[in-house]
Chain A
Amino acid sequence: MSARASLGNRALQYIGVFLVAVTINFMLPRLMPGNPLALLAGVDVGMMTPAERAQVVKEAGLDRPLWEQYATYLKNVARFDFGYSYRQKRLISDMILERLPWTLLLAGIALLFSAVIGVTLGGISAWNRAKAMDVGMLWTMIGLESLPTFWLGMLLISVVSVRLGWLPSFGIRTPGIPLTGWPWVVDVARHLVLPVVTLTIISMPGIYVTMRYSMLGVLGSDFIRTARAKGLTERTVLFRHVVRNAIVPVATVLALRMGFAFGGAVVTETVFSFPGIGRLTFEAVSGRDYPVMMACFMVITIAVLVSNLAVDLIYPLLDPRTR
């Protein structure tokens, strides 16, 4: 009974957070400086008469009172209808659905690599605490994490694509050449290599550090000393006792990152001209394309809330104490 009540409470909490987020999403673009008129009307806005300008604003619904715009917005969000992009004049839901698979592919692969490499190295590092290997790895990870993403991406482009000519530097497929079947898969894979490498290098150190510290904490605890005292092999201690306990916080971090993955990797996608959600968001913000901006933020909001919920639900399975 109490479990059900707490579940109900939690649902209410999520709905509350969602509503606050929706409202912020609605307000944010309107609080930004700058007039969307230039974008709505194109470059020659200066040659329009005031009446023509008013017409443009009216067509976009920007002349209506704020609460009315808000009501329309809520109604449309409920129907997953984000309207038309100011800039591309296309249905925003189409634009998002077009890009989402590419973003998830990129972010998913990079997250998988970061998780496997980060957890493994973090574990090895902690197991060999304070030895040269641990210290060296820690320094390297800190170094990698502090690399600016755009710099790393441009470095890879200028060496691997421009100088060596091994891999394409942009996009997700070779433009203008229709491919199907295996050649298509190979083409997409080749385009994915550099962005995935960049994103992995940037996001793996965080997971490594989480794993390392979590494992150090576990290694110092009493039950590990007990396990060793019982005469268990190091192998059993490591996998049955240490890793199982250390992985819990890492799982939380991974689940949350999964949520943020829907928002795309703004910088990586921009550097590699990758057709994903991150770049869509970036271009909407810089072009003050309000409806697209709000839709992108909405997607991120929903994904993060859902992944939080997932963590809430998965946690008891990983950690019996929280059941």
Chain B
Amino acid sequence: MKGLLLSSRAWRIVVPLALIVLLAACAPSAAPAPAAAPATQAPAATQPPATKAPAATQPPAATQPAAAKQSAPRVRASIVADEATLNPYTYVTGTPGWNLLMLQYDSLYQVDLNGQPQPWLATGATISPDGLTYDIKLREGVKWHDGKPFTAADVKFAFDYYVANKTGRFARALRPVQSVTANGDTGVTIKLKAPSPSFMLQALADVPIIPQHVWKDVKEPKTYVFPGGTNIGTGPYKLVEYKPDQYYRFEANKDYFAGAPRVQELVLVRFADDAGSLAALRGKEVDLAIRSVAPEQINLLKQMPNMKIAQGPLFATDMVTFDVQKAPFNNLAVRKAIALAINRQDLAATVHLGNATPGNLGWIHPGSPFFNPAVKTEFSVQKAQAALDEAGIKDSNGDGVRELDGKPLSFELLVPSNSALRLRMAELIKEMLKTVGMKVNVSSVESTTWENKVWPEFDVAKGRDYEAAMWGWSAPVQADTSQTALLVHSDPAVGTLNLSGFKDPEADKLAEALMKEMDPAKYKDTLNKLQALIGDKLPLVMLLYPDGAYAYWSNVYDGYKFIAGQGIINKLSFLPESALPKP
């Protein structure tokens, strides 16, 4: 060892130098690109009302460059989770699994760019005044991928099959259904057990129709292996090749009833993680990243010429939830003070780098047609302090923390350790609440532990074991506004998403009314009242709505359509303009 140290002077310099060179090579290549590509605009729903949120406001609709590529022989897109054989019983993730599934299949209705259902395989429906009977007329001349005609018998078969072969999103969506009857080849009558304002969105625009001639003898749909492995649907794409963990290859269905797709071949490449997927996107090995990119990546990607980011609302949510049956959150003044003391603009700007819409206390996204503008979301440290003072919650011993019933106003805020964004928000909230005399202990735990404490066994009837937590619901909860009822109803069988244990007779009444109101005007009125109640009594405190941001090479294909709440992975992105559903 002596010789080793004495004679190694040269090497001791060379090795660290080599490491430094390596390190330097991996520094980001921040050569500023000359032409910053304009962000593609999502439809109307992106724009928060003028009174709100400068941080998240998008630049005014960019005019499309003259050379926008509206067709392509092939688009390669990255995915980061396997979706198995991608049929209605095997696809794995809600997003993008369902979205990819629906490239092959169609539902009776299709949501338009604002997320509202419009006729698709159906040409229209007559709903009886009591909201219990749907008389649906079907489009004629539609063919399955194998050339057989699509008929009303397939619709009846599909609905019955999903209900008989339980588990999964579609059986749940069809829960309100009493019976389905086919009237000839082109008509279907659906009877419901109870009126359901969300039936059209949740079931008719969500459930893929499967062909009777393919599925009729399938007993174990989850594990059944179809001969040839292909999925037969009516949709714009046919799955022609699947290599597990490697890729999916789709070919355009040239005979698609709404018009031939503008991209001939679609290849989904499977990556292990986002880092690999983004590296491949930057290296032009793929043309589109199907997963929404993280805020810190958006600005970097925008600097690359020809790279575009399609941005818009996804209806995902970020909020603070708490156990309102326990102190200090059983005290409304405390909840009010939390809501007032949090600077949402700051959270959106600092943590999401502007790629989020600041939250509205009434729960609904300001870009939604159902938003109640009368619900005011304020940031005011003075008002927060006043609310606590008024309730007699004061700092009597001068340590900077107020006391409630002799105990310091302090609580634990749970954060899942796998979400860097939520962790950063929690740290900022801790500082914000400190200014009004609350002490927050941010506690970062493994994500399943976090989930089990806030929502044990995914069943609110099992109670809860937390004080406060960072939380968020995925897009479907907000996309279907009638689910607002589930957030507040005190009966666990109804209020399945009521994580805070909130109990309020008026909220129960409004929630029940909302879930069966079929008249659009009355529905909106009830929802307005419910939003006002949530903003006032605060069963939860909304923070913000993260935007969806999808990065793609516009010189390969630039015809993507952003559906509010779904993003750009949808069949409308690949269909001719003339095919888009219109309200």
Query: What is the interface of chain A, defined by CB distance below 8 A to chain B?
Result: 33-35, 37-38, 41-50, 52-53, 55-56, 59, 84, 87-90, 95, 98-99, 129-132, 134-136, 138-140, 143, 151, 154-155, 157-159, 161-163, 165, 168-173, 175-176, 269-275, 279-280, 282-283, 288
Q: Is the CB–CB distance between A139 and B279 below 8 Å?
A: no
Partner of B272, one of A132, A172, A279: A279
Q: Which chain A positions have C-beta within 8 A of B577?
A: none
Q: Any chain A CB within 8 A of the CB of B8? A: yes
Q: Which chain A positions have C-beta within 8 A of B85?
A: 89-90
Tell me the number of A-to-B contacts counted with CB atoms below 8 Å.
193
Within 8 A of A (CB), among B237-294: 241, 243-247, 249, 265, 267, 269-273, 275-276, 279-280, 282-285
Within 8 A of A (CB), among B381-404: none
Query: What is the interface of chain B, defined by CB distance below 8 A to chain A?
Result: 3-4, 7-8, 10-12, 14-15, 18-19, 22, 25-26, 29, 74, 76, 82, 84-85, 89-90, 92-95, 166-169, 172, 222-223, 241, 243-247, 249, 265, 267, 269-273, 275-276, 279-280, 282-285, 446, 448-449, 451-452, 455, 457-459, 461, 474, 476, 486, 493, 496-497
Tell me the minimal C-beta distance from B470 to chain A in angstroms: 17
Q: Is the CB–CB distance between B272 and A273 below 8 Å?
A: yes
Partner of A135, one of B11, B222, B271: B11
Q: Is the CB–CB distance between A139 and B84 below 8 Å?
A: no
Partner of A143, one of B19, B172, B283, B448: B19
CA distance A90 to B123 in the complex (A): 38
Q: Is the CB–CB distance between A143 and B8 below 8 Å?
A: no
Q: Is the CB–CB distance between B12 and A139 below 8 Å?
A: yes
Partner of B241, one of A48, A168, A169, A176: A176
Query: Which residue in chain A gives the minimum CB-CB distance to B240?
Result: A176
Tell me the minimal C-beta distance from A271 to chain B in angstroms: 7
Q: Is the CB–CB distance between B279 and A132 below 8 Å?
A: no
Q: Is the CB–CB distance between B451 and A55 below 8 Å?
A: no
Given A44-B172, A130-B7, A136-B10, answer yes or no on A159-B272 (Cβ-Cβ < 8 Å). no
Query: Which residue in chain B gives the minimum CB-CB distance to A143?
Result: B15
Q: Which chain B positions have C-beta within 8 A of A59?
A: 167
Given A53-B458, A59-B167, A98-B244, answer yes or no on A132-B273 (Cβ-Cβ < 8 Å). no
Q: Which chain B positions have C-beta within 8 A of A143?
A: 15, 18-19
Q: Which chain A positions have C-beta within 8 A of B273?
A: 270, 273
Q: Which chain B positions have C-beta within 8 A of A95?
A: 244
CA distance A299 to B145 in the complex (A): 41
Partner of A42, one of B25, B92, B166, B245: B92
Given A161-B285, A173-B246, answer yes or no on A35-B272 (Cβ-Cβ < 8 Å). no
Q: Which 7 interchain pairs have the tightest Cβ spacing?
A: A34-B448, A130-B3, A175-B247, A176-B267, A136-B11, A43-B94, A135-B8
Tell me the minimal C-beta distance from A105 to chain B in angstroms: 14
Q: Which chain B positions have C-beta within 8 A of A135?
A: 3-4, 7-8, 11
Q: Is the CB–CB distance between A136 and B8 below 8 Å?
A: yes
CA distance A48 to B496 in the complex (A): 9
Q: Which chain A positions have C-beta within 8 A of B283?
A: 157, 161-162, 165, 169
Tell me the minimal C-beta distance from A167 to chain B in angstroms: 10
CA distance A280 to B272 in the complex (A): 10
Q: Is the CB–CB distance between B246 and A275 below 8 Å?
A: yes
Q: Which chain A positions have C-beta within 8 A of B245?
A: 98-99, 275, 279-280
Q: Which chain A positions have C-beta within 8 A of B76?
A: 175-176
Q: Which chain A positions have C-beta within 8 A of B280?
A: 161, 169-170
CA distance A151 to B19 in the complex (A): 12
Partner of A89, one of B8, B223, B267, B271: B223
Q: Which chain B positions have C-beta within 8 A of A170?
A: 269, 271, 276, 279-280, 285
CA distance A292 to B444 in the complex (A): 29
Partner of A50, one of B3, B18, B461, B474: B461
Partner of B172, one of A52, A132, A138, A175: A52
Q: Is the CB–CB distance between A176 and B26 below 8 Å?
A: no
Q: Is the CB–CB distance between A139 and B22 below 8 Å?
A: no
Most buried by A among B243, B267, B486: B243
Tell me the minimal C-beta distance from A128 to chain B in angstroms: 11
CA distance A275 to B222 in the complex (A): 23
CA distance A322 to B425 in the complex (A): 64
Given A89-B90, A90-B84, A143-B18, answer yes or no on A55-B166 (Cβ-Cβ < 8 Å). yes
Partner of B92, one of A88, A130, A282: A88
Tell me the minimal C-beta distance from B84 to chain A in angstroms: 4
Q: Is the CB–CB distance between A157 and B451 below 8 Å?
A: no
Query: Which residue in chain A gives the minimum CB-CB distance to B449?
Result: A33
Q: Which chain B positions have C-beta within 8 A of A269?
A: 272
CA distance A130 to B283 in the complex (A): 45
Q: Which chain A positions have C-beta within 8 A of B279?
A: 154, 157-158, 161-162, 169-170
Tell me the minimal C-beta distance from B14 to chain A in angstroms: 7
In addition to A33-B448, A130-B7, A136-B11, 17 A-B residue pairs with Cβ atoms within 8 Å of each other are A35-B457, A38-B458, A42-B93, A42-B168, A48-B172, A52-B166, A56-B167, A89-B223, A129-B3, A132-B8, A154-B26, A161-B285, A162-B283, A165-B284, A170-B279, A175-B246, A270-B272
CA distance A132 to B11 in the complex (A): 8
Q: Is the CB–CB distance between B452 and A46 below 8 Å?
A: no
Q: Is the CB–CB distance between B241 and A158 below 8 Å?
A: no
Given A139-B15, A169-B280, answer yes or no on A132-B10 (Cβ-Cβ < 8 Å). yes
Q: What are 17 A-B interface contacts by the 8 Å CB criterion?
A: A35-B452, A35-B458, A44-B476, A45-B458, A46-B497, A52-B166, A87-B92, A89-B85, A89-B89, A131-B3, A135-B7, A154-B275, A161-B280, A161-B283, A175-B243, A270-B276, A283-B272
CA distance A269 to B451 in the complex (A): 29
CA distance A66 to B52 in the complex (A): 56
CA distance A84 to B285 in the complex (A): 33
Q: Which chain B positions have C-beta within 8 A of A273?
A: 270-273, 276
Partner of A155, one of B4, B22, B89, B267: B22
Tell me the minimal C-beta distance from B475 to chain A in angstroms: 10
Q: Is the CB–CB distance between B172 and A275 below 8 Å?
A: no
CA distance A59 to B269 in the complex (A): 31
Q: Which chain A positions have C-beta within 8 A of B222?
A: 84, 89
Q: Which chain A positions have C-beta within 8 A of B271?
A: 170, 273
Q: Is the CB–CB distance between B14 and A136 below 8 Å?
A: yes
Q: Which chain B positions have C-beta within 8 A of A176?
A: 74, 76, 241, 247, 249, 265, 267
